[in-house]
Protein backbone atom coordinates (compact mmCIF):
# COMPACT_ATOMS: atom_id res chain seq x y z
CA UNK A 1 0.00 0.00 0.00
CA UNK A 2 1.35 3.42 -0.97
CA UNK A 3 0.61 6.69 0.80
CA UNK A 4 0.80 10.16 -0.74
CA UNK A 5 -0.69 13.61 -0.46
CA UNK A 6 -4.10 14.17 -2.06
CA UNK A 7 -2.39 16.89 -4.11
CA UNK A 8 0.58 14.81 -5.34
CA UNK A 9 0.06 14.88 -9.13
CA UNK A 10 2.42 12.00 -9.90
CA UNK A 11 0.75 9.86 -7.23
CA UNK A 12 -2.70 10.72 -8.61
CA UNK A 13 -1.60 9.73 -12.10
CA UNK A 14 -0.25 6.44 -10.74
CA UNK A 15 -3.53 5.88 -8.87
CA UNK A 16 -5.44 6.40 -12.12
CA UNK A 17 -3.25 3.83 -13.90
CA UNK A 18 -3.79 1.21 -11.20
CA UNK A 19 -7.53 1.74 -10.70
CA UNK A 20 -10.77 1.11 -12.55
CA UNK A 21 -12.97 3.36 -10.39
CA UNK A 22 -12.39 5.99 -7.71
CA UNK A 23 -14.62 6.51 -4.68
CA UNK A 24 -14.28 8.59 -1.51
CA UNK A 25 -14.73 8.05 2.21
CA UNK A 26 -14.67 11.76 3.07
CA UNK A 27 -15.83 14.93 1.37
CA UNK A 28 -12.72 16.78 2.56
CA UNK A 29 -10.68 15.92 -0.52
CA UNK A 30 -9.11 18.62 -2.73
CA UNK A 31 -11.70 18.91 -5.47
CA UNK A 32 -9.06 19.58 -8.12
CA UNK A 33 -7.66 16.09 -7.46
CA UNK A 34 -11.05 14.47 -8.10
CA UNK A 35 -11.54 16.46 -11.29
CA UNK A 36 -8.08 15.36 -12.45
CA UNK A 37 -8.87 11.69 -11.79
CA UNK A 38 -12.24 12.01 -13.53
CA UNK A 39 -10.40 12.70 -16.80
CA UNK A 40 -9.11 9.13 -16.79
CA UNK A 41 -11.70 6.94 -15.06
CA UNK A 42 -15.10 6.99 -13.32
CA UNK A 43 -15.26 8.87 -10.01
CA UNK A 44 -18.27 7.83 -7.93
CA UNK A 45 -19.66 10.05 -6.51
CA UNK A 46 -18.61 12.61 -9.10
CA UNK A 47 -16.26 15.51 -8.45
CA UNK A 48 -19.19 17.86 -9.12
CA UNK A 49 -21.30 16.20 -6.41
CA UNK A 50 -18.50 16.23 -3.86
CA UNK A 51 -17.73 19.89 -4.60
CA UNK A 52 -21.30 20.80 -3.66
CA UNK A 53 -21.36 18.66 -0.52
CA UNK A 54 -18.02 19.94 0.80
CA UNK A 55 -19.08 23.60 0.81
CA UNK A 56 -22.08 24.73 2.87
CA UNK A 57 -22.62 27.80 0.71
CA UNK A 58 -22.69 25.80 -2.52
CA UNK A 59 -24.78 23.12 -0.83
CA UNK A 60 -27.47 25.47 0.48
CA UNK A 61 -27.64 27.37 -2.80
CA UNK A 62 -28.02 24.07 -4.66
CA UNK A 63 -30.75 22.83 -2.32
CA UNK A 64 -32.62 26.12 -2.60
CA UNK A 65 -32.38 25.96 -6.41
CA UNK A 66 -34.29 22.66 -6.46
CA UNK A 67 -36.91 23.87 -3.94
CA UNK A 68 -35.64 21.80 -1.03
CA UNK A 69 -36.46 23.44 2.32
CA UNK A 70 -33.48 24.70 4.32
CA UNK A 71 -33.30 26.85 7.44
CA UNK A 72 -33.08 30.57 6.66
CA UNK A 73 -29.43 31.41 6.02
CA UNK A 74 -27.06 34.16 4.96
CA UNK A 75 -23.73 33.87 3.17
CA UNK A 76 -20.85 35.57 4.94
CA UNK A 77 -17.63 35.75 2.95
CA UNK A 78 -16.25 38.91 4.54
CA UNK A 79 -17.12 41.54 7.13
CA UNK A 80 -18.91 43.65 4.52
CA UNK A 81 -21.54 40.91 4.22
CA UNK A 82 -22.75 41.70 7.76
CA UNK A 83 -24.64 44.64 6.23
CA UNK A 84 -26.70 42.22 4.13
CA UNK A 85 -28.06 40.41 7.19
CA UNK A 86 -31.54 41.79 7.61
CA UNK A 87 -34.88 40.61 8.97
CA UNK A 88 -33.39 37.92 11.15
CA UNK A 89 -33.61 37.30 14.86
CA UNK A 90 -31.13 35.69 17.19
CA UNK A 91 -29.89 33.21 18.33
CA UNK A 92 -28.24 31.96 15.13
CA UNK A 93 -25.50 29.47 14.35
CA UNK A 94 -22.40 30.59 12.47
CA UNK A 95 -20.85 27.69 10.52
CA UNK A 96 -17.70 27.59 8.42
CA UNK A 97 -18.46 26.82 4.79
CA UNK A 98 -15.84 24.06 4.68
CA UNK A 99 -14.19 21.50 6.97
CA UNK A 100 -16.89 21.61 9.61
CA UNK A 101 -18.02 18.32 11.16
CA UNK A 102 -18.89 16.86 14.56
CA UNK A 103 -19.66 20.32 15.91
CA UNK A 104 -16.36 21.80 14.75
CA UNK A 105 -16.41 25.16 13.00
CA UNK A 106 -19.71 26.20 14.58
CA UNK A 107 -20.52 28.98 17.03
CA UNK A 108 -23.87 30.04 18.49
CA UNK A 109 -24.28 33.82 18.30
CA UNK A 110 -26.92 35.84 20.12
CA UNK A 111 -26.38 39.28 18.59
CA UNK A 112 -24.63 41.14 15.77
CA UNK A 113 -21.85 41.95 18.21
CA UNK A 114 -21.33 38.25 18.93
CA UNK A 115 -21.50 37.55 15.20
CA UNK A 116 -18.49 39.79 14.58
CA UNK A 117 -16.55 38.11 17.39
CA UNK A 118 -17.56 34.66 16.16
CA UNK A 119 -16.49 35.39 12.60
CA UNK A 120 -13.12 36.53 13.90
CA UNK A 121 -12.83 33.40 16.08
CA UNK A 122 -13.43 31.28 12.96
CA UNK A 123 -10.52 33.10 11.30
CA UNK A 124 -12.75 35.15 8.98
CA UNK A 125 -13.20 32.24 6.56
CA UNK A 126 -16.38 32.02 4.44
CA UNK A 127 -19.36 31.01 6.59
CA UNK A 128 -23.10 30.59 6.60
CA UNK A 129 -25.28 32.09 9.30
CA UNK A 130 -28.35 29.96 10.07
CA UNK A 131 -31.36 30.73 12.19
CA UNK A 132 -31.35 28.45 15.27
CA UNK A 133 -34.60 26.53 15.36
CA UNK A 134 -36.39 24.56 18.07
CA UNK A 135 -35.75 20.97 17.07
CA UNK A 136 -38.35 18.27 17.53
CA UNK A 137 -36.07 15.59 16.09
CA UNK A 138 -32.93 15.18 14.02
CA UNK A 139 -33.22 12.64 11.22
CA UNK A 140 -31.12 11.18 8.45
CA UNK A 141 -31.58 8.83 5.55
CA UNK A 142 -28.99 6.79 3.69
CA UNK A 143 -29.92 6.73 0.02
CA UNK A 144 -28.03 5.13 -2.86
CA UNK A 145 -28.14 5.60 -6.64
CA UNK A 146 -26.27 3.74 -9.36
CA UNK A 147 -25.05 4.79 -12.82
CA UNK A 148 -28.35 3.68 -14.37
CA UNK A 149 -30.35 6.03 -12.16
CA UNK A 150 -31.81 3.29 -9.94
CA UNK A 151 -32.43 4.63 -6.43
CA UNK A 152 -32.90 2.73 -3.17
CA UNK A 153 -33.01 3.96 0.41
CA UNK A 154 -32.55 2.51 3.86
CA UNK A 155 -35.13 3.28 6.56
CA UNK A 156 -34.98 6.72 8.16
CA UNK A 157 -32.85 7.04 11.31
CA UNK A 158 -33.50 9.26 14.33
CA UNK A 159 -30.32 10.79 15.72
CA UNK A 160 -29.36 12.32 19.04
CA UNK A 161 -26.26 14.48 19.46
CA UNK A 162 -24.06 15.53 22.37
CA UNK A 163 -21.79 18.54 22.03
CA UNK A 164 -22.50 18.62 18.31
CA UNK A 165 -21.36 15.01 17.81
CA UNK A 166 -23.65 12.10 16.96
CA UNK A 167 -24.28 10.09 20.13
CA UNK A 168 -26.98 7.58 19.18
CA UNK A 169 -28.85 6.66 16.02
CA UNK A 170 -31.96 4.47 15.94
CA UNK A 171 -33.34 2.84 12.79
CA UNK A 172 -36.18 2.92 11.88
CA UNK A 173 -37.31 6.27 13.25
CA UNK A 174 -40.84 6.55 14.62
CA UNK A 175 -42.49 9.15 12.40
CA UNK A 176 -45.86 10.00 10.92
CA UNK A 177 -46.53 8.77 7.39
CA UNK A 178 -46.59 12.38 6.21
CA UNK A 179 -43.10 13.13 7.52
CA UNK A 180 -41.69 9.81 6.30
CA UNK A 181 -43.01 10.34 2.79
CA UNK A 182 -41.60 13.87 2.74
CA UNK A 183 -38.14 12.61 3.79
CA UNK A 184 -38.15 9.96 1.04
CA UNK A 185 -39.39 12.44 -1.56
CA UNK A 186 -36.86 15.15 -0.72
CA UNK A 187 -33.91 12.75 -0.54
CA UNK A 188 -34.85 11.24 -3.90
CA UNK A 189 -35.14 14.69 -5.49
CA UNK A 190 -31.69 15.60 -4.19
CA UNK A 191 -29.90 12.46 -5.34
CA UNK A 192 -31.49 12.60 -8.80
CA UNK A 193 -30.81 16.32 -9.21
CA UNK A 194 -27.14 15.69 -8.46
CA UNK A 195 -27.09 12.83 -10.99
CA UNK A 196 -25.37 11.09 -8.11
CA UNK A 197 -23.59 7.73 -8.10
CA UNK A 198 -22.95 6.19 -4.70
CA UNK A 199 -24.16 6.36 -1.12
CA UNK A 200 -25.48 9.72 0.08
CA UNK A 201 -26.60 10.70 3.57
CA UNK A 202 -29.22 13.44 3.81
CA UNK A 203 -29.55 14.96 7.28
CA UNK A 204 -32.79 16.66 8.33
CA UNK A 205 -34.07 18.93 11.06
CA UNK A 206 -37.69 18.35 12.10
CA UNK A 207 -39.38 21.33 13.75
CA UNK A 208 -42.87 20.14 14.70
CA UNK A 209 -44.08 18.98 11.27
CA UNK A 210 -41.69 21.16 9.25
CA UNK A 211 -38.72 19.48 7.59
CA UNK A 212 -35.46 21.21 6.69
CA UNK A 213 -32.39 19.66 5.12
CA UNK A 214 -29.39 20.30 7.34
CA UNK A 215 -26.55 18.95 5.21
CA UNK A 216 -25.40 16.25 2.80
CA UNK A 217 -22.61 13.71 3.27
CA UNK A 218 -21.39 12.14 -0.02
CA UNK A 219 -20.33 8.84 1.57
CA UNK A 220 -21.35 6.13 4.04
CA UNK A 221 -22.34 7.89 7.25
CA UNK A 222 -22.13 7.32 11.00
CA UNK A 223 -25.93 7.23 11.24
CA UNK A 224 -25.98 4.26 8.86
CA UNK A 225 -23.50 2.02 10.66
CA UNK A 226 -26.32 -0.15 12.01
CA UNK A 227 -26.81 -1.43 8.46
CA UNK A 228 -23.71 -3.63 8.96
CA UNK A 229 -25.64 -6.00 11.24
CA UNK A 230 -29.27 -4.99 10.71
CA UNK A 231 -29.48 -4.95 6.91
CA UNK A 232 -29.11 -7.57 4.24
CA UNK A 233 -26.66 -5.30 2.42
CA UNK A 234 -24.80 -2.61 4.38
CA UNK A 235 -24.21 0.97 3.26
CA UNK A 236 -20.55 0.06 2.72
CA UNK A 237 -21.38 -2.84 0.43
CA UNK A 238 -23.77 -0.58 -1.50
CA UNK A 239 -20.93 1.90 -2.06
CA UNK A 240 -18.73 -0.88 -3.48
CA UNK A 241 -21.58 -2.17 -5.62
CA UNK A 242 -22.04 1.25 -7.21
CA UNK A 243 -18.30 1.76 -7.68
CA UNK A 244 -17.98 -1.60 -9.45
CA UNK A 245 -21.20 -1.32 -11.50
CA UNK A 246 -22.86 -4.21 -9.67
CA UNK A 247 -26.60 -4.39 -9.09
CA UNK A 248 -27.76 -2.59 -5.95
CA UNK A 249 -28.43 -4.80 -2.95
CA UNK A 250 -31.48 -4.85 -0.71
CA UNK A 251 -31.93 -1.90 1.64
CA UNK A 252 -34.46 -3.68 3.85
CA UNK A 253 -33.51 -4.12 7.49
CA UNK A 254 -33.87 -7.44 9.28
CA UNK A 255 -34.18 -5.90 12.75
CA UNK A 256 -34.56 -2.49 14.37
CA UNK A 257 -31.13 -1.36 15.54
CA UNK A 258 -29.34 1.36 17.47
CA UNK A 259 -25.80 2.70 17.12
CA UNK A 260 -23.99 4.22 20.12
CA UNK A 261 -20.77 6.04 19.37
CA UNK A 262 -17.77 5.23 21.57
CA UNK A 263 -16.01 8.48 22.34
CA UNK A 264 -12.47 8.84 23.64
CA UNK A 265 -13.89 10.03 26.98
CA UNK A 266 -14.69 6.38 27.75
CA UNK A 267 -10.95 5.61 28.04
CA UNK A 268 -10.28 8.13 30.81
CA UNK A 269 -10.37 7.29 34.51
CA UNK A 270 -13.33 8.90 36.26
CA UNK A 271 -11.18 9.65 39.32
CA UNK A 272 -8.79 12.17 37.81
CA UNK A 273 -9.96 12.46 34.19
CA UNK A 274 -6.36 12.14 33.00
CA UNK A 275 -5.32 8.49 33.33
CA UNK A 276 -6.07 6.35 30.27
CA UNK A 277 -7.76 3.07 31.18
CA UNK A 278 -8.92 0.45 28.67
CA UNK A 279 -12.72 0.07 28.88
CA UNK A 280 -14.13 -3.20 30.21
CA UNK A 281 -15.22 -4.77 26.92
CA UNK A 282 -16.75 -7.75 28.75
CA UNK A 283 -19.67 -5.47 29.61
CA UNK A 284 -20.58 -5.44 25.92
CA UNK A 285 -20.59 -9.22 25.49
CA UNK A 286 -24.33 -9.66 25.15
CA UNK A 287 -26.53 -11.27 22.48
CA UNK A 288 -27.26 -8.82 19.69
CA UNK A 289 -24.50 -6.39 20.69
CA UNK A 290 -21.56 -5.74 18.35
CA UNK A 291 -18.49 -3.64 19.13
CA UNK A 292 -16.56 -1.94 16.30
CA UNK A 293 -13.24 -0.27 17.16
CA UNK A 294 -11.54 1.90 14.55
CA UNK A 295 -7.92 1.15 15.46
CA UNK A 296 -7.08 4.69 16.52
CA UNK A 297 -4.00 4.68 18.73
CA UNK A 298 -4.69 7.69 20.90
CA UNK A 299 -8.00 8.19 22.72
CA UNK A 300 -8.98 11.81 23.26
CA UNK A 301 -12.12 13.37 24.72
CA UNK A 302 -14.57 14.02 21.89
CA UNK A 303 -12.80 11.68 19.48
CA UNK A 304 -14.76 8.84 17.87
CA UNK A 305 -12.93 5.63 18.74
CA UNK A 306 -15.59 3.21 17.54
CA UNK A 307 -19.24 2.34 17.90
CA UNK A 308 -21.54 -0.28 19.37
CA UNK A 309 -24.54 -1.61 17.49
CA UNK A 310 -27.44 -3.32 19.23
CA UNK A 311 -30.03 -5.17 17.19
CA UNK A 312 -33.49 -5.86 18.62
CA UNK A 313 -34.67 -9.32 17.63
CA UNK A 314 -38.26 -10.27 18.29
Class of domain 72-131: alpha beta
Residue-wise pLDDT for 97-119, tens only, equals 998 776 678 999 999 889 999 99
Q: How far is C-alpha 155 from the geometric centre of its chain's CA atoms?
A: 16
Mean pLDDT of 128-151: 97
Query: Does the structure show a pLDDT above 90 at 70?
Result: yes
Query: Bridge partners of 142?
Result: 201
Q: How confident is the model at residue 271 (pLDDT cuts 50, 70, 90)?
A: low
Q: With bands split at pLDDT 50, 70 and 90, how would you rate the model's confidence at 272?
A: low
Q: For all residues of the chain together, what is the average pLDDT?
A: 94
The residues of the chain that CATH labels 3.30.1490.20 are 72-131
User: So what's the architecture of 137-311 in CATH?
Assistant: 2-Layer Sandwich (3.30)
For residue 41, pLDDT beyond 90: yes
How confident is the model at residue 173, as a pLDDT? 98
Contact between 9 and 36 under an 8 Å Cβ cutoff? The reply is yes
Mean pLDDT of 274-281: 86
Instruction: For residue 82, name the pLDDT band (cuts at 50, 70, 90).
Output: confident
User: In this structure, what are the phi and psi dihedrals at residue 39, rounded to the nearest 5 degrees?
Assistant: -75, -20
**How large is the average pLDDT for residues 131-145?**
97
- CATH 3.30.470.20 domain extents, the chain: 137-311
What are the pLDDT digits (tens) for 195-224? 999 999 999 999 998 999 999 999 999 999
pLDDT greater than 70 at residue 273: no
Q: Tell me: pLDDT of 245 over 70.
A: yes
Identify the pLDDT of residue 310. 98
Query: In 3-state terms, what secondary structure has residue 309?
Result: strand
Q: What is the per-residue pLDDT for 85?
A: 87
Amino acid sequence: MNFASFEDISALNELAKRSETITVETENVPIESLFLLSKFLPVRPSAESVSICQDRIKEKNFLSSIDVPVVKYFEIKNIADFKLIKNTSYPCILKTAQFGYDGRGQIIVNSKEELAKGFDKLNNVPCVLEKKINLTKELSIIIVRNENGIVKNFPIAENKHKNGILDTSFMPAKLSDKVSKAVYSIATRIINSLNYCGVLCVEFFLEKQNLYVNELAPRPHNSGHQTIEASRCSQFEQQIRVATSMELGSTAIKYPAMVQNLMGDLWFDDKDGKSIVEPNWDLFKKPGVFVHLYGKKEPRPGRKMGHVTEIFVG
